[in-house]
Amino acid sequence: MFDNRASGILLHPISLPSRFGIGDLGPEAYKFVDFLSASSQQIWQILPLSPTGFGNSPYLAYSALAGNPLLISPEKLLEDGLLMQEEIDALPHYPVERIDYDLVIKTKMPLLKLASEKFKRLSDPNQWNDFNNFCEQYSYWLDDYALFMAVKEANNNESWHRWEPGISKRQPEAMEDWKNRLSDEIFHHKFMQFQFFKQWKSIKGFANEKGIQILGDIPIYVSHDSVDVWSNREIFCLDLLTGEASQMAGVPPDYFSSTGQLWGNPVYNWEKLRQDNFQWWIRRIKGMLEYVDYMRIDHFRGFQAYWTVPQGETTAINGWWQDAPGEELFNTINQELGTLPIVAEDLGLITPEVEHLRDKFNFPGMKVLHFAFDSDRSNPFLPFNYYNRNCIVYTGTHDNDTTIGWFQGRSLEEKSRVTDYLGPLAPESIHWSMIRLAMSSVANLSIVPVQDLLGLGGWAKMNCPGTLGDNWCWRYRPGELTQDLIDRLRYLTYLYGREPRNY
């Protein structure tokens, strides 16, 4: 898939600087693309763009295909005449380096509502035509999503399985009744998706013109409290009486947690999915290709066998492995959509069967350097053990500490395992030594989180798996991506043969 050596940066758009409390698709997103281009990068890796639910995690979203309205740029709405300067100026001051989600939601969502109402009143025929074409083209997910969100808000954001039975079970009369009662709210949610898609497509087009490809992210599972489960209950393992997950997804104890991770998502009813040739997955992959050029599938090993935990458990310990029809699924998708631009997140407990599934479809796997120094010389994350160039090497991922935080948290003995391999280094240069190690490896693609480029400590990590609280909040400050940083990154990219090649 990545035929030539290349490199890129991992940054979720919410981490961009912005006047509005959360990174968005406004001017700073274009500046970041310019930074990538100037430093000879070819890949911008992002996390899922979906509307976030409980805990603000992009991996627990209300929809697999909708975009997060909080990413909509008010400045772009101002340019389109849908907001006035005084409406923007009335917003409060927000924290610069952290996202205060409560404050952002409280102040930004009413602003988007104002824009929606102005669009309804003042848009010209061409704008209406664009909106109607968008709604028609994406009706296969948009109609259910807009209704789901409108009903959810009307029910104090309760999960769909706690709504009144008629709408919870999607009875036709109840569906029509709620559509009529909430027509304004449904329009508003469609408007926000229209604006999100318009702004994101503009960013993606700008990036592609500069030779930057977008590497997106698909969680293998969807949130229980999502339009996907509400509108496709038959393909998930649910309790028929309560609507709750009867079998929950997670992983057994591993590097990140001694009790495993209990995600709570319902696992798939693969037999039901098989009956219509996996059409739900085909629609999902096809929909994602509207947003990205490549996609990383999180928890890829779940397509070969998945960890399932029965209803009522509070940790992931008491679960078991269940086989999944991954080979059949990807064969079917290939027949429908052609060769897939998929990256396999193959971290954790990976068996020969998982490796076979990955390699059969030529999906690149992942190598994380933070994992390379805590066993012997056969450690598969050590660069000299990369037997297959068809992989992506990371210093760390969004689930890791920053490189400086990781190194500072190691004991003297553990640090020596790193420095023995890298050679002597000053403590403040560990991040550049690890970036150089990633760049110099044989992996076709190297990816570095922005936090490591900036040399930030553990306070800047994006996520601490298995915890709630201060996750998904970090942002960098305006002006931190300096010319010196561009020059240094561009030089290493050139030095290790990862610069763009025009042939």
Q: Cite the active site residues.
A: 298, 345, 399
Q: How far apart are the first and last CA of the chain?
A: 17
CA 16 from chain centre, in angstroms, equals: 15
- Tell me the DSSP string of 157-188: T--GGGS-HHHHTT-HHHHHHHHHHTHHHHHH
How many CB atoms are closer than 10 A to CB 269? 18
Cβ-count burial of 481 within 10 angstroms (0-12 exposed, 13-18 middle, 19+ buried)? buried
Helix (H, G, I), strand (E, B) or coil at 87: helix
The C-alpha atoms of residue 285 and residue 268 are separated, in whole angstroms, by: 16
- 422/221 Cα distance (integer angstroms): 38
Cβ atoms 297, 280 nearer than 8 A: no
Task: Report which residue type is found at 193.
Answer: Q
How far is Cα 492 from Cα 10, in angstroms, rounded to an integer?
A: 17
91/80 Cα distance (integer angstroms): 19
| Cβ-contact 11, 46 below 8 angstroms | yes
Q: Give how far the C-alpha of residue 266 lies from the chain's centroid of Cα atoms, to the nearest Å.
A: 19
Residue type, 118: K
Q: Which of 62, 79, 61, 97 is nearest to 25 (CA)?
A: 79
The DSSP symbol for 291 reads T
Contact 111, 119 (CB under 8 A): no
